[in-house]
Amino acid sequence: MKNLNLKAKWITKNPETRLYQIPVPIIGLTGGIGTGKSTVAEILRAKNIPVIDADKLVKNIYQKPQTLTFIAKHFPHVMEDGKIVFKKLRETAFSDLTAKKLLEDFIYAYLPDEFKKAYAEFSNPRFIVYDVPLLFEKKLNGLIDLSVCVYAPREIQIERIVERDKSEKALAAKMLEGQMDIEEKKTRADLVVLNSDGMEELKIAVDQFLADVAN
């Protein structure tokens, strides 16, 4: 695919007002657990669209010695042999909102540097896509040029979480309660990519999204 430029109507920020003062437009890609946001990101990468994955940045932060020290201090029950048991950490975060906020505040403090490192790996991008689950929750939408929500109804989200994690519906529902409702994200987003059907329909929806925003 040729190098695309974001259409002028969607460029709403300048470097001074944009997230981390990035010099090119940022599309914020968001959704909820089980909506298929990561799949959309992979489709975009296959089209040579530069994508920065917030979850990958977070994983990098979890590898830092200071993060292990923080987790061991505040959540010692999730540590085994000096390593984080992420299943236990997720269960703790989704069942205790105070713990969730404490954890997120720590992790997000390291995100700017990790983001800039990831951005520096691209060669003169025209724009970038930031794949970030908490786009609206962390009020990052006011710092990007354009927001797009990958949408699937809540019942489909739950079905996908149960299938992916082999978990109970009750736990899947609790995980969703820890996020902004997908219907609200859909309303807040500038554009929506529908993912209620199969992969072929999703690919068509992504192509339409790109046609709408870039040329």
Residues 144-154 have pLDDT tens digits of 999 999 999 88
pLDDT surpassing 80 at residue 167:
no
Say yes or no to pLDDT of 1 above 70.
Answer: no
Alpha-carbon gap, residue 115 to 20, rounded angstroms: 8
Which residues does 119 contact at the CB level (< 8 Å), separation at least 6?
20, 22, 52, 128
Sign of CA pseudo-dihedral 120, 124, 129, 135: positive
pLDDT at 138: 87
**How much is the pLDDT for 170?**
81
- Taking residues 9-37, what's their average pLDDT? 95
Domain ranges of the chain: 8-53+127-213
**pLDDT score, position 169:** 83
| Residues 94-136 pLDDT 10s | 888 899 999 989 998 999 999 999 999 999 999 999 999 889 9
Sign of the alpha-carbon torsion through 162, 164, 165, 166: positive
Query: Which pLDDT belongs to residue 155?
Result: 84
**What SS3 class is residue 197?**
coil
On the question of pLDDT at 209 being above 90, the answer is yes
Tell which residue, 9, 36, 13, has the closest CA to residue 24: 13
Burial 93-115 (b: 16+ CB within 10 A, else e): bbeeeeeeeebeeebbebbeebb
- Cα 132 to its chain centre, rounded Å, is 2
- Across 1-25, average pLDDT: 93
User: Is residue 174 very low, low, confident or very high in pLDDT (cuts 50, 70, 90)?
Assistant: confident
The DSSP call for residue 214 is B
pLDDT of amino acid 2: 64
Nearest to 186 by CA among 135, 131, 138: 135
- The CATH T-level fold of domain 8-53+127-213 is Rossmann fold (3.40.50)
pTM: 0.85
How sure is the predictor about 12, in pLDDT bands with cuts at 50, 70 and 90? very high
Contacts of range 96-100, beta carbons closer than 8 Å, 24 or more positions apart: 97/178, 99/74, 99/75, 100/178
